[in-house]
Amino acid sequence: MAEQEFPGWHGTTIIGVRKGGQVVIAGDGQVSLGQTVIKGTARKVRRLSPGGQDVVCGFAGSTADAFTLLERLEAKLEATPGQLQRASVELAKDWRTDKYLQKLEAMLIVTDGTDLLVITGAGDVLEPEHDVTAIGSGGNFALAAARGLMDTDRSAEEVARRAMEIAADICVYTNGNLTVESISA
């Protein structure tokens, strides 16, 4: 089958919400191949603890590629303890310049409770506006929903969960089977 004929993997929505001294990263569990759901219970949000630091990460894209990036991020965090932003920038530099890493197809949302960042293969380390960010197939739906909920009295976790429900209702590559991790500032 030619590469352009292959239907491709789809199916992740990851959201990060910072509100009231809490940061939450939530991700759905769906992985699809073309129009077929391959798995509905994937776990795309993880907690890392390099050198005693507590960091929560969510990933969209190829699982193997994301795990490679998470391992690299963990090594960067061990080299720069307590400096998530610096470790993220170092990872983004490597990802942009290393010929092997350049082929990786994934994105990350990471937080240590203070910083909330999106890391991309284009060399970007982005701090979201409005304390909300989202990636993946249903990312824009979740982002819009969360932005609309930020002015309510809902907690960060409640905003993330409701935004993911809305994204799952709209995006066929997103389900309601959530993994949610929170961390305090």
Residues annotated as catalytic (active site), given as ranges: 12
C-beta of residue 72 within 8 angstroms of C-beta of residue 94: yes
The residues, ordered by sequence, that sit 6+ positions from 6 with a Cβ below 8 Å of its Cβ are: none
Written as one letter, the residue type at 91 is L
Q: Using CA of residue 119, residue 120, residue 123, residue 128, what is the dihedral sign?
A: negative
Q: Which residue has the tokens 């963990």?
A: 74
User: Strand order in 116-119's β-sheet?
Assistant: 45-48, 55-61, 106-111, 116-119, 125-126
Q: In whole angstroms, what is the distance from residue 15 CA to residue 159 CA?
A: 10
Q: Within 10 Å of residue 68's Cβ, how many Cβ atoms? A: 16
Q: Which residue type is seen at 74? A: E
